[in-house]
Amino acid sequence: MEFKDYYQVLGVDRNATADEIKKAFRRLARKYHPDVSKEADAEARMKELNEAFAVLSDPEKRAAYDQVGRGAHAGQEFRPPPGWDAGFEFSGTGFSDAEAAGFSDFFSELFGQHMGRGRAGGAAFRTRGEDHHAKIMLDIEDAYRGARRTISLRVPRVDATGHLAMSEHTLDVQIPKGVYEGRLIRLAGQGSPGAGGPPGDLYLEVQFAPHPRYRAEGRDVYATLPLAPWEAALGAQVQAAVPDGTVEVRIPAGTQSGRKLRLKGRGIPGNGTGGSGDLYLVAEIVLPSAADPKARALYESMARELNFNPRGTHGGRS
Amino acid sequence: MTRALIALPVDDTGLSLEELAAGCAVTREWVIERVEAGLLTRTGGSESWIFSSRDLLRARRLHAIERDFEANPELAGLVADLMEELERLRARLRRAGIPME
C-alpha cells in the first residue's frame, strides 16, 4: 500500500491551521469540480481532495495521521504499525460510507474499519444500509435490446469481527431495454449492508459510449447517413444501418448535407413511462476521391460544363 | 451461468420521499425544506411526493455543493441551475456539430 501525503494533495504546510486547510480544499474543489473542470483527471483529483479533506479536517484523524505518517513520503510503501490508532476515537468523515468506499486503500486501511460507527445521533434508528451510486457505460444499441453487464465495485462489507472492511464486489446485471443517458437504474439491496435492517440499493447512472455514427438525445437517436452525390441529387432508395438493424429509406431528390429524415418511433424504445423516441437520419454527402482517374475526369467535366458556384448570391445554380 | 440481477429503471415507478433522502444520504427534512424552497422539484406534481432520476441527481449535486463549500441551500441551488443550463447549452453545441473546445 502506498503512503498518501494528504498535505501535499491539498498543497498546504504540515503546520497549516484548520482554516487554511478548509480554504485550500475549497479552492481546489472549485478547480477540480468534475462538472465544470476542463482538467482530464478532474474526477480522480476530486476524489483525492475529498479523501485528504476527510482526514485533515477532522482533528482526531489528523492527529492520528500525523503520528502514523511521521517521516513517510508520498508513494512510499507503507504499513501502519499494529495498534497505531490506540487512544484515538474517530467520528464520521462528513462523507457517506458509500463515498468513502471510493477512497484509496491507504484510507480504508487507516480509517475504514471505523466507518459506520460513531455516527452522530439517530444511529439506533438508522439501520438500513446506505445507497451506492455508480455510472454504467452502455452502447446505444444496448438501449434497443437490453444488455448484460458485469460490474465491479468497491463496497464496505461487515467482516467476522463486526467491523466494516472494503471488498471488491462483482455483479452480473441485466439492463432492461429503453434506458437512456442521464437516467438511473436501480439494483435493490446491492448497496451497503444494513445494521439489523435491510441493505441499501445501488443506483447506476446510464452513459452512452461515443459512437462514430450514432448519438442520442433523450430517447431520440441521430444517425449519420452517408450518401453519394448522385444519390443525394437524383434521389435514391438506400439501405442504412441503424441501431436495431437496417432500414430501407427513400432519399428525396435534391437532398443536401445535414438534411434530417425522421423515422417515427425508431429511436430508443419506450418502457412504461414514455413512448419510443424517433430516429433521425442525417444526410452526409461523401465525395468520391479524385485520386481515381475516372472520378477525376468526371469532376473536370462537371467543372467545365456546369455553371455552378456554391458561394454565388443566387444559390449558384444555372 | 448464474442468473443476472435485474436492474429496474427508476423512472418506471419514481422515488418516494424516503427513497430520495436515502439516495443522497440526507434526512427527509433536508429534502422537504428544499422542495418547499423551490430548489428541488417533484415529478408527481404538488400533490404527490414522487421524484425522478433527474431529481435524485440534482439532490445529490445540491448536497455535495452545500457540503464542499459550506454553501447555503439557495447558493447551491443557483450553482446547480447554472450547471444544468451549461449541460443544455453543451448539448445544443453537440447537436449543431460544434466541437466543445
**pLDDT tens digits, A153-208:** 776 666 666 665 667 778 899 999 999 998 999 999 888 777 788 888 999 999 99
Share of residues in chain B with pLDDT > 90 (%) = 55
Nearest to A50 by CA among A104, A90, A117: A104
What pLDDT is attached to residue A73?
Answer: 77
A278 in a domain, yes or no?
yes
Q: Decide if A308 is inside a domain.
A: no
Is 0.80 topped by the overall pTM?
A: no
SS3 (DSSP) at A164: strand
Q: Which three cell numbers stand for residue B62?
A: 445540491
- Does residue A249 fall inside a structural domain? yes
**SS3 category, A250:** strand
Residues of A in contact with B91 (CB under 8 A): 217
* pLDDT of residue B12 exceeding 60: yes
Q: Please give the C-alpha separations between residue B52 and each of A183, A199, B21, in angstroms, as whole numbers.
A: 9, 21, 12
CA distance B6 to A173: 6
Q: Which residue of B has its CA nearest to A177?
A: B9
CATH of the domain at A232: 2.60.260.20
B75 contacts: CB under 8 Å, gap ≥ 6: B65, B69
The verdict on A180 touching B (C-beta cutoff 8 Å) is no
Q: Do residue B57 and residue A201 have CB atoms under 8 angstroms apart?
A: no
pLDDT for position A93: 60
**DSSP 8-state assignment for residue A132:** E
- Residues lower than pLDDT 50 in chain A: 116-124, 316, 318
pLDDT for B20 beyond 70: yes
How many domains does chain A divide into? 1
Q: Give the chain B residue whose CA is nearest to the CA of A97.
A: B25
- Of A275 and B1, the one with more pLDDT: A275
Tell me if B49 sits within 8 A of B63, measured CB to CB: no
Nearest-by-CA chain A residue for B61: A35
Give the span between the Cα atoms of B32 and B18, in whole angstroms: 10
**Which of A43, A220, A273 has the most B C-beta neighbours within 10 Å, making it the best mutation to test the interface with B?**
A273
What average pLDDT is seen over chain B?
88
CA distances (Å), origin A243, targets A85, A220, B23 = 56, 12, 33
CB pairs under 8 A between A and B: 90
| Residue A254 located in a structural domain | yes
The model's pLDDT over A220-250, given as tens digits with 9 standing for 90+, comes to 999 999 999 999 999 999 999 999 999 999 9
Q: Cα separations (Å) of A153 from A102, A170, A192, A196?
A: 9, 6, 11, 23
Candidates B1, B3, B8: best to mutate against A (most CBs of A within 10 A) is B8
Task: Find the helix or strand (DSSP H, E) in which A46 lies.
Answer: helix A42-56
- Judge contact between B42 and B51, C-beta under 8 A: yes
Residues contacting residue A275 through CB under 8 Å, at least 6 positions apart: A265
Question: Do the chains contact at A98 and B83, CB–CB below 8 Å?
Answer: no
Determine the Cα–Cα distance for residues A276 and A175; give it in Å rounded to an integer. 17
Cα angle vertex A32, ends A29, A37, to 5°?
135
**Window 105-164 of A, Cβ < 8 Å to B:** 128, 130-131, 133, 148
Nearest to B7 among A29, A128, A187 (CB): A187
Task: Report pLDDT for A61.
Answer: 85
Residues of B in contact with A176 (CB under 8 A): 6-9
Instruction: Please give the grid coordinates belonging to residue B99.
Output: 466541437
What is the per-residue pLDDT for A312? Answer: 76
Asked if residue A98 lies in contact with residue A131, where contact means CB atoms within 8 angstroms, the answer is yes
Q: Determine the average pLDDT of the residues in B88-100.
A: 81
> What per-residue confidence (pLDDT) applies to B27?
93
Tell me which chain A residues have a C-beta less than 8 angstroms from the C-beta of B5: 171-174, 187, 190
Residue A248 lies in a domain: yes
Average pLDDT, chain A: 84
Is A174–B7 a contact, with Cβ atoms under 8 angstroms apart?
yes
Per-residue pLDDT, A316: 46
Q: At what angle do helices B53-69 and A18-31 cross, to 10 degrees?
A: 140
The answer to whether residue A61 sits within a structural domain is no
- The residue with greater pLDDT, A273 or B7, is B7
Question: Which residue range forms the structural domain that includes residue A258?
Answer: 214-287
DSSP A58: S
Q: What is the pLDDT of residue B42?
A: 83
Angle formed by the axes of helices B53-69 and B73-95, nearest 10°: 130
Q: For residue A231, is it within any domain?
A: yes
